Amino acid sequence: MALAYNKVDIRGVAFKDVMGEILFTNNTLEEGLVTFAEDVKANTVFTDTAHVVALQQYTSGSPTASGTIGVNDYLVTPKKFVVYDEFNMEALRTGRFNRDMKPGAWNMTSTEFEAAVLNGIAPYVSIAAEQAFWNGATTATKAAVAALTPGTPITSVGAAEQAYVAAAPTQLFDGVITKMIYDATNSVVGARSKVAGTTITASNIFTEYGKLYTGGPAVVLHSKVEKPTIYAPYSHLAMINQFNTANTYKSDVFVVDQVAGTYYFQGVKIVFVPIPENCMVLGVKSSIVWVTDLTDDLTYVQIEKKQNNADDMFYKFVFLLESHVRNRKFQTLYLG
Amino acid sequence: MAKYKLKEGITLSPFGENSQITNKNLTDSIAEYLISEGRASIEDFEVSEEGFPPAPPEATSEVVPPVVNEDENTITAVVEDSVTTLEGKLSKAKVKPIETIPVTPAPPEATSEVVPPVVKG
């Protein structure tokens, strides 16, 4: 039971607004920064293809078979989460929320409390889901990555990658960054491209974005099918603006439209999501997938009495979530 | 045996507020990486060339539901303590069921019976 109400007994009037904290918006969801696979209740197969072809000398007879028709299936099952707490509106009886309680001792439900307080919980749930989507790591993956020997080759986890997974919040599923580092389904190092980074500041941010820009597969930048995106942590917004201010009369700056809120590096759009500091992803939106049953589940809250012979109430959110990264070798992870 | 151990009370957040390194998830390679990148200072660690024993893992106790043996009408419960070591290995210690001590039924409580008075004529 956790209703922490620092209450003042109401005598005069109460100001209309109930003000909540300033929160990050779940940009991943609201701006559609990744791909959404909805209506997934359980096992869903995602299939990637990668072919190898060989040009051979023509023969009028029977040719020799050569090449590979490569098809990879990944089975994805979202994890089911619940956010649940209990409270009792009796605690509100002498405070501001008693003003819309109906007459009668039986009536202790405050519509204002439900609308202004309980509905305000949904953004917290949404942000927690977004953070898990990008950042989580399971206990099993943490143990598996900790047991690896870090190294520079792309087939090894880097020292920074190993430290990141160890320090990542423990979750029921591996988030996007962890999935890029380690493929827990096949127990192998993730097939991402990797760039060894460093601590990013307002001074070196342009140079570090350059490392990411040139560090990934060239085909991603040349693709006519889909333009890549740079996924960056929230702190980079301020660093980019500071860098641009310090380099106002130079051409080597980020292209920023502060009114529209758009940020570009060498023509590649930058979006800000809750990924760790000193981490960036250069990838294509279609390859980073938010797997769920219904995205609206994050905004649906059930508020009811626990049982008929008591006045204890509960609120409850239920949703499904899993992350999936497709075509991993075309996604580049900068981590320092 | 680990060479590095964080001093008591020190927790590192090398990738921001949502990342956390304690002695439970610290390895030597992580410690050396954090020092080399300036995310931690050598002063944050105790260093032992001989090596520290692994940090005590968090013990989880798993309670297996009781099995009812209908023939003998007895209930057997087994409690397994699972402990994960730092190397990721799982060692299980099974605790034998506690021996059943036969309980002698308590003697019935004395009841006071009111004998109706005998009326002599």
CB contact under 8 A, A169 and B18: yes
CB contact under 8 A, A162 and B21: no
ipTM: 0.76
**What is the average pLDDT score of chain A?**
91
CB contact under 8 A, B30 and A163: yes
Residue A272 has pLDDT above 60, yes or no: yes
Q: Tokens 């501001």 label which residue? A: A96
Q: How confident is the model at residue B88 (pLDDT cuts 50, 70, 90)?
A: very low
Position with higher pLDDT, B107 vs A129: A129
pLDDT over 90, % of chain B = 26
Q: How confident is the model at residue A85 (pLDDT cuts 50, 70, 90)?
A: very high
> How many structural domains compose chain A?
1
Distance, in Å, from the CA atom of A177 to the CA atom of A279, rounded to the nearest integer, reads 9
Model pLDDT, residue A316: 93
Distance, in Å, from the CA atom of A174 to the CA atom of A170, rounded to the nearest integer, reads 9
* DSSP assigned state of A283: E
Q: Tokens 């106002």 label which residue? A: A248
Burial (CB count <10 Å: 0-12, 13-18, 19+), residue B94: exposed
Q: How confident is the model at residue B108 (pLDDT cuts 50, 70, 90)?
A: low
Mean pLDDT over residues B37-66, rounded? Answer: 73
Residue B109 has pLDDT above 60, yes or no: no
B105: closest CA of chain A, how far (Å)? 40
Please provide the DSSP assignment of A66-92 as one string.
Answer: -SB--EEEEEE-PEEEEEEEEEEGGGG
Residue A253 lies in a domain: no
Contact indicator for A268, A229 with CB cutoff of 8 Å: yes
Mean pLDDT over residues B36-56, rounded? Answer: 85
Mean pLDDT over residues B58-86, rounded? Answer: 45
CB contact under 8 A, A135 and B18: yes
CB contact under 8 A, A147 and B26: no
Residue A186 has pLDDT above 60, yes or no: yes
Structural domain that includes position A322: 27-52+71-200+288-335
Chain A interface with B: residues with Cβ < 8 Å: 131, 135, 139, 142-144, 146-147, 149-150, 159-160, 162-164, 166-169, 198-199, 233, 235, 274, 276-279, 336
Instruction: Give tens-digit pLDDT for A7-48.
Output: 888 887 888 788 877 777 788 998 999 999 999 888 889 999
Residue A14 lies in a domain: no
Nearest to B29 among A150, A167, A276 (CB): A150
Residue in chain B closest to A149 (alpha carbons) equals B29
Pull the structure tokens for residue A270.
Answer: 């930058």
Residue A66 lies in a domain: no
Chain B positions touching A176 (Cβ under 8 A) are none
Pull the structure tokens for residue A261.
Answer: 């809120």
CB contact under 8 A, A276 and B19: yes
Amino acid making up residue A113: F
Mean pLDDT over residues B76-84, rounded? Answer: 41
Pull the structure tokens for residue A232.
Answer: 């960056």
Mean pLDDT over residues B80-104, rounded? Answer: 45
Q: How far is CA A238 from its chain centroid?
A: 20
Nearest to A167 among B25, B32, B38 (CB): B25
Contacts of A168 (CB under 8 A, 6+ apart): A135, A136, A137, A142, A175, A177, A178, A276, B18, B19
Chain A positions touching B32 (Cβ under 8 A) are 159
Q: How confident is the model at residue B74 (pLDDT cuts 50, 70, 90)?
A: very low
Q: In this complex, is the C-beta atom of B22 within 8 Å of any C-beta atom belonging to chain A?
A: no
Residue A222 lies in a domain: no
Residue A229 lies in a domain: no
A187: closest CA of chain B, how far (Å)? 14
* DSSP assigned state of A39: S
* Element of type H or E holding B74: strand B74-76
This prediction has a pTM of 0.80
A233: closest CA of chain B, how far (Å)? 10
Measure Cα distances from A172 to A44, A276, A314, B23 in Å. 18, 18, 24, 22
Residue B71 has pLDDT above 90, yes or no: no
Contact indicator for A123, A29 with CB cutoff of 8 Å: no
Could you tell me what percentage of chain A is helix, strand and coil, using 3-state DSSP and rounding each to the nearest 5?
Answer: 30, 25, 45
Model pLDDT, residue B77: 43
